[in-house]
Amino acid sequence: MDFRDDPSMDMRPRLWERREFIKKAVAGTAVVAIGGGIYHIVSDDLTRQARAQTRSDGRPRLPPGQRVISKLKPMGGRPGDARAKSFRLRVHGEVRKPFELDYAGLLELPQTELNADVHCVTGWSLLGSAFIGVKVALLAEKAAVKSTARHVIFEAAHGYTANVRLGEATAANVLVTHRMDGRPFAKKHGAPVRGLVPDLYFWKSAKWLTGIRFVSRDQPGYWEVRGYNNHADPWLEERYA
């Protein structure tokens, strides 16, 4: 989730709206309307099925307080340049070999395909989507990350950042991703390239990605300094500070 330049979100999370969304979701299957258009259906059947499933790490597939929706929900934000020809990704910071990639260079690297669930702090989850991209771990290896690095800062258009612990950012399912369910991302979802950190709340998966910066000291990002939890584990319901 990243509303970024929405003035109504400028100073602090709109906790009341988040709580109202979750309360309404609990009432049963619901159509979610945004801006006058119907986009997504909260599915009781999919939610029940997911709650009965267990991940390979022993945790329930669906984190507490979440409901399953049928389609990725656009969460706003001030878009970056969605043209592939304009894409540049800097990999820098606490590394011995900083480098920059354009879109063609990203596609030339080994590609990873995986199915992942994503969980938004507002209470929705989208399950089993297919993503293609490059592992952050591979970029870290290519950049020769220094032993002093402790965190990764995902940098995006207009100065947006999201901070993730190094071990979690270099997990096998964390990608710089350019395709979802066989298609390039739409502009509203972060085209041409976004981050994917599926085991943390979705605001950590920065849209319109421009950089991966390795740092020795934690640097809370856009939402973290506005009252959201610094770590953002959905299974611990680390929603707000």
The pLDDT value given to residue 78? 92
In a domain, 180, yes or no: yes
In a domain, 51, yes or no: yes
The pLDDT value given to residue 41? 75
The pLDDT value given to residue 113? 98
The pLDDT value given to residue 223? 97
In a domain, 166, yes or no: yes
C-alpha distances in Å from residue 207, one per residue of 24, 63, 65, 75, 178: 27, 23, 24, 10, 11
Q: What is the CATH number of the domain that holds 108?
A: 3.90.420.10
Using alpha carbons, select from 87, 94, 90 the residue that is nearest to residue 155: 90
The pLDDT value given to residue 81? 97
Domain span holding position 141: 7-236
Give me the average pLDDT of each 10-residue run along the chain (241 residues).
37 44 41 40 90 97 96 92 98 98 98 98 97 98 98 98 98 98 97 98 98 98 98 98 90
How many domains is the chain built from?
1
In a domain, 2, yes or no: no
The pLDDT value given to residue 13? 43
In a domain, 1, yes or no: no
In a domain, 241, yes or no: no
The pLDDT value given to residue 40? 57
